[in-house]
Amino acid sequence: MWKLLMPLLALVAFGGGATFPANKELLECASQILYMDQHSYQVPTDYNRNIPPGKNTTVYIGVNIIRVSGVDENKQEITLDVFLQVSWTEDRLNVPHRVPFIDLPWEFRQLIWTPDLYIWQLQTMKILSVLQEMASLRLYANRTVTVSIGATITIKCDMDFVLYPLDVQNCDIDFGSYKYTTEDVRFEWREVARWLGLGPVGNERSEFRLPKYVVTFVTAKSNHIHIFGEGEHSAARMQIILSRELRSYLLESYLPSSLFVIISWGSFCVIPEIVPGRMVLLVTTLLSLVTMFDTVSTNSPDALELKCIEVWLISCTIFVFLALLEYFVVLFGIRYDKSWSRRRQDLRRAASAAQLGPPPLHINHLQRLSTPVTGTPQGGMFSPTLSVEDEGLKQQFEHQAIQRDSPILESIPPGGRATGFVTRMRGVIDNGVMFCGAQHGALDKYALMIFPMCFLLFNVIYWTTYLS
């Protein structure tokens, strides 16, 4: 032992404390010297670290999640602090008698075969360290080699935010081999000597509550296969489930927007003639919803389609806009009604003047000569009396008297009666506009019933569709 240590001390003294680049032979010599004195252990001379221990070697994976450091939705990444344990059986290595295990130096892994572990979704990995790196290599008496590492890893997760904020993200992490096929190496979750890691059969769950997420880890029971390169490659899969906390979104987005829509219904109770009050209420509510939509769209993650919360805010904005549009129709109806009232009064005056004046007599010359005229002298003047034919003309004129509140008068063409599809449609439109502008507020009464029913139906369809 002392004979082997002397060359090392001389080498360090000769260097004067200088740092030398890593030397493989020196590393192998130093690693074996550390254990010769205590356990007389050395790697067999016929050991080949480039060949697996045997055909269909099983590598067991164990993961202990310490904490979830963060979830970056924009980069679609999850950062975890974990303790990773990888173990396999190495029949070519022996442990001295009556020794349960041997702690080998971390550099010793370069002298023995280690699985080419590959984490498919791994973005970055950093081994934790305080006084030294949190990594150990241990050889047990049953010829099991265990590698334990404490690290911070960043996982790339493909996220879909179409259902945001009702989305549930599922991220798969596959621990497998990039070189050995299933005929040489298989990866499974740890089934022996259970420890604090995720369970062997996939029944154990580990949850972490973040301000916006509930993060759940589940191990898959079945072995997953990746086909690439020379064939099928085994992988042990762990699934990360990100369930979003809905309480904050309900209080910050859904509840205020619903209240804005309900407040807009109050405009139906305001007298239409009070234009400033009703207009300010509707316009302020509409602008508030537009501002809320812009804020949510800016702060929420990107998606290929409209997100769930964007559909909600757009629908609420449409409800308020329809309430504002309904008020425009009411104002137009009121203005049309007032204009039609003036024209209606003018027509009544004309009809009254026509009734008071003498009716036109359409009598030919022969009839005028043959019709006797009778009368009585009144105050020295002669008053003629009309015959039966003249009374018929008077009744015909009275039958054509203008009816009250009839919008059809405008639609009657100068030379004929109101006939045809265009004329009927004009009458229907006139009646509809006058109904909207009626002073008793008939349209507002119907809107006050229809708008809440439509909003309730929208809620049922929205939540049923997205929650299912």
pLDDT tens for 296-340 read 999 999 888 899 999 999 999 999 999 999 888 888 777 766 665
Last residue of a domain, one of 225, 245, 265: 245
Least confident window among 77-81, 130-134, 243-247, 360-364: 360-364
* Whether 41 contacts 108, CB under 8 Å: no
Range from 91-100, 256-265, 346-355 that averages highest in pLDDT: 256-265
- Identify whether residues 96 and 127 lie together within a single domain: yes
pLDDT in tens, 38-62: 444 577 888 888 889 888 899 999 9
Cα(308)–Cα(251) distance, rounded to whole angstroms?
A: 16
Radius of gyration, CA atoms only, the chain? 47
Same structural domain, 182 and 234: yes
Tokens read off for 324: 């504002």
The Cα 388–Cα 365 span in angstroms is 17
Average the pLDDT over 29-35 and give the result: 47
Here the tokens at position 386 are 């009309």
Please indicate, yes or no, if residue 194 is contained in any of the structural domains. Answer: yes
Structure tokens at 355: 């009734």
> What confidence tier does 379 reach under pLDDT thresholds 50, 70, 90?
very low
Name the residue range of residue 253's domain.
246-351+392-468
| CATH number, residue 232 | 2.70.170.10
Of 62-71, 287-296, 317-326, 337-346, the one with minimum mean pLDDT is 337-346
Does 363 or 322 have the greater pLDDT score?
A: 322
Q: Which pTM was predicted?
A: 0.66
C-beta separation of 419 from 393 below 8 A: no
Are 187 and 302 within one domain?
no
Cα–Cα distance for residue pair 404/398, rounded to 1 Å = 14
Mean pLDDT score, 162-170: 92
Residue with tokens 């596959």: 174
Q: Tell me: do 217 and 311 sit in the same domain.
A: no
Write down the pLDDT at residue 145.
93
Q: What is the pLDDT of residue 440?
A: 52
Q: pLDDT averaged over the chain? A: 76
**% the chain with pLDDT above 90:** 35
Mean pLDDT of the 104-121 span = 89
- pLDDT > 70: percent of the chain: 66
Q: What is residue 438's predicted lDDT score, i.e. its pLDDT?
A: 53
Give Cα 177 distance to the centre of its chain: 36
Residue 292 lies in a domain: yes
**Residue-level pLDDT at 401:** 41
Is 31 in the same domain as 121?
yes
Is the model's pLDDT at 411 over the cut of 50?
A: no
Domain presence at residue 365: no
Within-domain flag for 417: yes
Residues 254 and 138 in one domain: no
Q: Which of 227, 245, 263 is the last residue of a domain?
A: 245
* CA–CA separation, 395 and 312 (whole Å): 65
CATH of the domain at 459: 1.20.58.390
> Is residue 384 domain-resident?
no
Shared domain check, 164 and 91? yes
Short-list 387, 347, 385, CA closest to 367: 387
Q: Is 236 in the same domain as 252? A: no
Q: Are residues 45 and 65 in the same domain?
A: yes
Report the candidate in 307, 277, 252, 265 with the shortest Cα–Cα distance to residue 455.
265
Domain final residue pick, 210, 228, 245: 245
Residue 452: CB partners within 8 Å, gap ≥ 6? 265
Domain membership of residue 89 (yes or no) is: yes
Higher local confidence (pLDDT), 331 or 283:
283
**Do 325 and 212 share a structural domain?**
no
What's the domain count of the chain?
2
C-alpha span between 338 and 344 (Å, rounded): 10
Omega prior to 96 cis, within 30 of 0: no
Say whether both 211 and 260 belong to one domain.
Answer: no
Structural domain contains residue 398: yes
> Phi, psi at residue 257, to the nearest 5°?
-65, -35
Task: Judge if 205 and 255 occupy the same domain.
Answer: no
